[in-house]
Amino acid sequence: MSLPVPDSDALAASHALQHQIAAEIARNDGAIPFARFMELALYAPDLGYYSGGAAKLGKDGDFTTAPEISPLFGATLAHVAAAIMAQTAPRILEFGAGTGKLACDILTEAASAGIHIDQYAIVELSGELRARQELALAAFPQVVWFDGFPDSFEGAVFGNEVLDAMPVNLISKTPAGWCELDVSIADGQFVFVERPAGADVAAQIAAQVPEADALPVGYVSEIHGVACGFMRSLARMLTNGKGGAAVLFDYGFPAHEYYLDLRATGTLMCHYRHHAHAEPFYLPGLQDITAHVDFTAMAVAAQNAGLDVLAYMNQASFLLGSGIGDLLLRTDPEQVKTYLPQASAVQKLVSPAEMGELFKVLAVGHRVALPEALLSSDRSHRL
């Protein structure tokens, strides 16, 4: 691959993480599940992609998220939050707040629109990103940080590109049935090795993959045990409270679109300095590793744990139904130099050729209803 060369400090950090992963492989009879490899590559203390010191987001990082594209994304979510908080409590909880841009835009819009927020809580696993958030949000005293799920919560919950960064198990269809793709070492390099699927993984395959037995030999895909566990924890938190809703943005598909012949090599993807590729063993700790989200599995996990599936739709429908067009028109279109950049950014968020169709929105909740304007675009029957 022709990718930018990291500096010596970054390379040394990646080598240190590779040694740590290799040591764990040695302690576990020569192989570890891919989900564990991915967890270490992303979250190993001080060395993982999200727990190390490298810039992750924006034009100088590895990828750009919706809040970085336009402040109107966050401004729109402020009004979504207002509708949820009016039925529950004036509190917001955000998972994985990145640079803090989404929180800043939500709080800025709330202040100008008279939307009262008692507390804006952030759950952030990355110490480096939390430090950036603390600087970016210093002007907002209602912001607090949690180390994990609170026992209960009432209010609005947001997660933008959180589920795709959760570790996944890789599976492959063999003539003898489904196996797991574990990570081992050969000739000093990380390699995949096959292992018969364990009972937990076999149960997850049966629950998650439609017509799994009919898929061809050689088919490779992912199952999302960690993300399903996240949804169950989310459900426990919301059902322990008096009412709340979680709105999750990510790229992915419902199950009947996820496990198709055209995705016979899976959806795993890596991002390194705005280059996308499919080599998860390349410089661990210096690149993001993601998989598309199986939204059916997420919805079922939430529903089985006691939440209502409130809506599922593409990002374009959600943002347009939530009023992003009206917020854009607060800038006079005749003020061309101001209006056109904002309109171009909104177009990127809602265009089917950009993020509008690729990104989906799943809303789940407890004792909460979404605004009627959103429900006209609901596709939850397709889950």
- The 10s digit of each residue's pLDDT in 279-312 is 999 999 999 999 999 999 999 999 999 999 999 9
User: What does the pLDDT read at residue 127?
Assistant: 81
220 forms beta bridges with 172
At 81, the amino acid letter reads: A
pLDDT band at 272 (very low <50, low <70, confident <90, very high): confident
At 171, the amino acid letter reads: I
Q: Residue written as tokens 């599936």?
A: 309
Query: What distances in angstroms separate CA 294 from CA 118, 175, 245, 300, one per listed residue?
Result: 34, 25, 20, 10
Residue of higher predicted confidence among 9 and 88: 88
Chain segment 21-47, per-residue pLDDT in tens: 999 999 999 999 999 999 999 999 989
Average pLDDT over residues 110-139: 94
In the predicted structure, residue 203 carries a pLDDT above the cut 60: yes
Per DSSP, the residues of 161-174 read S-GGGS--EEEEEE
- All residues at 6 or more sequence positions from 275 whose CB lies less than 8 Å from its CB, including other chains: 1, 3, 4
Average pLDDT over residues 344-365: 96
User: What does the pLDDT read at residue 7?
Assistant: 87
- All residues at 6 or more sequence positions from 111 whose CB lies less than 8 Å from its CB, including other chains: none
In the predicted structure, residue 54 carries a pLDDT above the cut 70: no
Q: Is 232 exposed, middle or buried (0-12, 13-18, 19+ CB in 10 A)?
A: middle
Share of the chain above pLDDT 90, in %: 86
How many whole angstroms separate alpha carbon 383 and alpha carbon 370? Answer: 18
pLDDT band at 125 (very low <50, low <70, confident <90, very high): confident
Average pLDDT over residues 347-355: 96
User: What does the pLDDT read at residue 53?
Assistant: 62
Average pLDDT over residues 91-101: 95
DSSP class of residue 63 equals: B
Element (H, E) at 347: helix 336-350
User: What does the pLDDT read at residue 366?
Assistant: 98
How many whole angstroms separate alpha carbon 302 and alpha carbon 296? Answer: 10
Beta strand 288-290 with 269-272 is: antiparallel
Element (H, E) at 192: strand 189-196
User: What does the pLDDT read at residue 61?
Assistant: 55
Which backbone phi and psi does 189 adopt, to 5 degrees?
Answer: -120, 150
In the predicted structure, residue 59 carries a pLDDT above the cut 80: no
pTM: 0.94
CA Rg, the chain, in Å?
21
Q: Residue written as tokens 């079922």?
A: 300
Maximum Cα–Cα distance across the chain: 67
* Residue 77 near residue 323, CB atoms below 8 Å: no
User: What does the pLDDT read at residue 57?
Assistant: 52
User: What does the pLDDT read at residue 289?
Assistant: 96
DSSP class of residue 7 equals: P
119 forms beta bridges with 91
Token readout for 233 is: 């924890």
How many whole angstroms separate alpha carbon 348 and alpha carbon 357? Answer: 11
Mean pLDDT of all residues belonging to the chain: 94
DSSP class of residue 132 equals: H
In the predicted structure, residue 206 carries a pLDDT above the cut 70: yes
User: What does the pLDDT read at residue 30?
Assistant: 97
Element (H, E) at 128: helix 127-136
pLDDT band at 3 (very low <50, low <70, confident <90, very high): confident
Chain segment 142-197, per-residue pLDDT in tens: 999 999 999 999 999 999 999 999 999 999 999 999 999 999 999 999 999 999 99
Q: Residue written as tokens 């605004």?
A: 371
Element (H, E) at 228: helix 225-239
In the predicted structure, residue 63 carries a pLDDT above the cut 70: no
Tell me the CATH architecture of domain 7-383.
Answer: 3-Layer(aba) Sandwich (3.40)
Query: What distances in angstroms separate CA 337 from CA 22, 59, 172, 343, one per listed residue?
Result: 54, 22, 52, 11
Q: Residue written as tokens 């793709």?
A: 181
Residue of higher predicted confidence among 274 and 243: 243
User: What does the pLDDT read at residue 72?
Assistant: 98
How many whole angstroms separate alpha carbon 374 and alpha carbon 319? Answer: 9
Nearest Cα neighbor of 57 from 4, 2, 132 is: 132
pLDDT band at 129 (very low <50, low <70, confident <90, very high): confident
How many whole angstroms separate alpha carbon 248 and alpha carbon 260? Answer: 24
pLDDT band at 52 (very low <50, low <70, confident <90, very high): confident
